[in-house]
Amino acid sequence: MSYRCVLDLHTHTIASGHAYCTLREMAKAASDKGLELLGITEHAPKMPGSCTSMYFQNLKVVPRNLYGIRLLLGCEVNILDPEGHIDLEEKVLRGLDVVIASLHLPCMKPGTCRENTDAYLSVMKNPYVNIIGHPDDGRYEVDYRALVEGAKKYGKVLELNNHSLQPDCSRQNALANDRLMLTLCKEYRVPIVMGSDAHFDSLIGEFHEAAALLEEANFPEDLVLNRSVEALKEQMSL
């Protein structure tokens, strides 16, 4: 099976503090690669070196189309505790096109399996959160059946993060965790989206490891939102 990919929702520009290209450079790279839609999801304020809430409040001034690419401008918010608190206020979240919620070591230290799982399930109750980012990091032990059941219940999308599967990534045991997650997503019919997590423009739309894992799992193409902008819009009510 060959997976069609016309969009990448998880990328970062220099505004995130540890990425290296501008918004225009990222959009141009996405256009050159033949994508139709690009998500720019900067790290939220609790990530060291990232932008303040003012940055996200002012995204209204940025065009939503550059170089023929439709842009979704949003945020990768940090889950801060098992209660699902995040580091952007509702008034800011309301103005964003897409919101990814993730666990990062600088912002929440790993807890017990129950605490880590509760963090994901609690943030899923937030109506502004669209995607759970890289829920495959073995440093955060997770009940994957509960995670997938939660995504089904709350209508959230789970990310298959390509960077997690690369040898230089610091996340642990991602391959085994993603295999389990995909098996359960097939069982519960929960959609996934591949994300590059690109911090440099040449990495946009690079899904080699993720696509290979989908092939291995014989994962249903109709559950992979990268296949079309229309499928993404329908799932996430964009």
- Token code pair at residue 90: 């509702």
Which are the contacts of 14, defined by CB distance < 8 A and separation ≥ 6? 20, 21, 22
Our CA dihedral for 173, 179, 182, 186, rounded to 10 degrees, sits at -150
Q: H-type helices in the chain, by residue range?
A: 23-32, 53-57, 90-93, 113-123, 144-154, 174-188, 208-217, 229-236
pLDDT value of residue 236: 87
pLDDT value of residue 40: 98
Cα separations (Å) of 42 from 5, 59, 110, 124, 126?
Answer: 22, 11, 22, 19, 19
Cα separations (Å) of 121 from 44, 71, 190, 203?
Answer: 20, 28, 15, 30
pLDDT value of residue 237: 80
Find, among 111, 91, 104, 103, the residue nearest to 132 by Cα: 103
pLDDT averaged over 10-residue windows placed end to end, the chain, 238 residues: 89 98 98 98 98 97 97 98 98 98 98 98 98 98 98 98 97 98 98 98 98 97 97 90
pLDDT value of residue 208: 97
- Token code pair at residue 38: 């690009």
DSSP 8-state assignment for residue 124: T
